[in-house]
Chain A
Amino acid sequence: MKNNNYDDLNFNLDFANFNPDDIEVDETINAVFIIDTSSSVYQYVNELNYAFNDFTESMQKSHIADKLFVSVIEFNNKINVVNGFMPISSIQNMDFSKKLGGATALYDAVYHGLNNALDYRENLENSGVKTKTMVFVITDGEDNSSKNSANSVKNIIKKIKADELSAFSFTTILFGLGDEANFEKARIDMGIEHLAKIGTSGAEIKKMIGFISQSISSVSAGQPTFAPVF
């Protein structure tokens, strides 16, 4: 197992999102990845790195690359903003093994990820950029160290869904890896729309990332996102 090295963690949650004035499309897909890096993740972190970097590379070549913006947040007992919303073209290879360790502040991570997604979405829409937002939460455990409650997350999602204009352009999916946790309860408690429970093998993680790629492409084409079935 990797040791805890928090030297390069960003505790100030400085998202530093891409400047809306510099966006040269009138519609974006904003994908948020909220990724568990607690100690148990060491078992499959190499597969996760490989699948995520493969996703980045393929989306950079995709016809929707111009409109795809990605934000990555890692969490264990601390939240680390790897990057705020940036064009997929500028996303570098990730190595989630660097910061492995600690507990699982799942609610905190989702809470901050959602808030940033909403703030940025509002900024973009006020400057004439229509936005579709997709939040992907990837975890292998239940929350055990958050300051925010599941209910605070639920309230944010409830508010989004109550707004007619954003209800169909905001999607949340929880990927529960392994069989250690009660992911269904976490999903319900946070009000996340979809849950997919998958294993931690390379093939299954690849399948999960493949589903994410497909969902992003579908949403870009104006189609709805369906619950993932593996």
Chain B
Amino acid sequence: MIVHKLLKRGLNHPNFCEDFILDEKLNQEYSLFGVFDGCSSGVDSHLASTLIAKIIRAEANKINIEKLSFDEILEKITFKTLKSLKKISKKFFLSKNELLSTIILFLYNQNSDKGKIISIGDGFLSINKHEIEINQNNQPNYLAYNIDEIRNKKEFKIWYDENVGKYDVENLEDVTISTDGIFSFANDYNSENYNNKEINIIEYLTQDKNLFSNKAMLGRKYNILKKTHFLQNFDDLGIIRIIKQ
């Protein structure tokens, strides 16, 4: 299994990249991957996406995942993250607007070759070449919206079942999780040579196998999009692509 990662600031965001990515091996069997997109109309959203990724990493490592199902593990991680967010927001006087980030998590067991993806907010998935656009019309139900509303596990369970997208993965060949920045590529240079029919960007980044054994595959493909096709992402971009070797 090769894990390729890409995190790039978009042209619309001059100061900070508000996306973040997570790649964490939980034990010999399980890996947890995540992409996070801080809300552009939130406050200091680069902090929100990074902080939530760090909380998730900490909580995931605290959970005893033996004998739990994918659903149980992911639900537990999300619940504990919500509780931690609540505590941290109080401790550091953070408002909800400072904690707004989408979350896409992919929990994968390499022994069973199965996994589960959950999404809170929008983004993009490619599961063995099956493309899924998670579109919430830019109005995601961010986890942080609920830090006051959800008071106990029962309320969390109701919210989780209604608001969290769930996708199964079996026989992993080539899986990508991405923030919606992947849809924001456009011509930056107004070059006469530019022709957007030349390349399918989604396919190129998430399915094309060129350079797949090279650790810098996504970074190099990104540079080729810029140099050869005059294309750049206007929104921040976080991609994790896992390919079976």
A-to-B contact residues, CB < 8 Å: 21, 23-27, 125-130
Contacts and interface: CB of A to CB of B under 8 A. Distances in A.
Contacts of A25: 215-216, 219
B215 A129 contact: no
Contacts of B219: 25-27, 128
A110 to B, nearest CB: 27
A127 B214 CA distance: 12
Contacts of A24: 214-216
Interface residues of B, number: 12
A134 to B, nearest CB: 20
Interface stretch (B39-47, B56-64, B83-91, B222-230): B222-230
Given A24-B214, A25-B216, A126 B227 contact: yes
B227 A26 contact: no
B132 interface: no
Nearest to B216: A26
A128 B215 contact: no
A24 B5 CA distance: 13
Contacts of B223: 26-27, 125, 128-130
Contacts of B222: 26, 128
Contacts of B215: 24-25
Contacts, number: 37
A26 B228 contact: no
A23 B220 CA distance: 10
Interface of B: 211, 214-216, 219-224, 227-228
A21 to B, nearest CB: 8
Contact of B227 (A23, A27, A125): A125
Nearest to B221: A128
Contacts of A129: 216, 220, 223
Interface centre among B211, B220, B227 (most CB of A within 10 A): B220
Contact of A126 (B214, B221, B228): B228
Contacts of B224: 126-128
The 7 tightest CB contacts between A and B, nearest first, are A26-B219, A128-B220, A24-B215, A128-B224, A128-B223, A26-B216, A26-B220
Contacts of A23: 214, 216
Nearest to B213: A24
24 contacts: A21-B211, A23-B214, A24-B215, A25-B216, A26-B216, A26-B219, A26-B220, A26-B222, A26-B223, A27-B223, A125-B223, A126-B224, A126-B228, A127-B220, A127-B224, A128-B219, A128-B220, A128-B221, A128-B222, A128-B223, A128-B227, A129-B216, A129-B223, A130-B223
Nearest to B218: A26
B208 to A, nearest CB: 12
Contacts of A26: 216, 219-220, 222-223
A129 B216 CA distance: 9
Contacts of B211: 21, 128
Interface centre among A21, A126, A128, A129 (most CB of B within 10 A): A128
Contacts of A128: 211, 216, 219-224, 227
A144 to B, nearest CB: 41
Contacts of B227: 125-126, 128
Contacts of A125: 223, 227
A21 B210 CA distance: 11
A130 B221 CA distance: 11
B106 to A, nearest CB: 23
A62 to B, nearest CB: 19
Nearest to B211: A128
A21 B214 CA distance: 8
A72 B220 CA distance: 26
B50 to A, nearest CB: 21
A227 B227 CA distance: 30
Nearest to A130: B223
B179 to A, nearest CB: 19
Contacts of A21: 211, 214
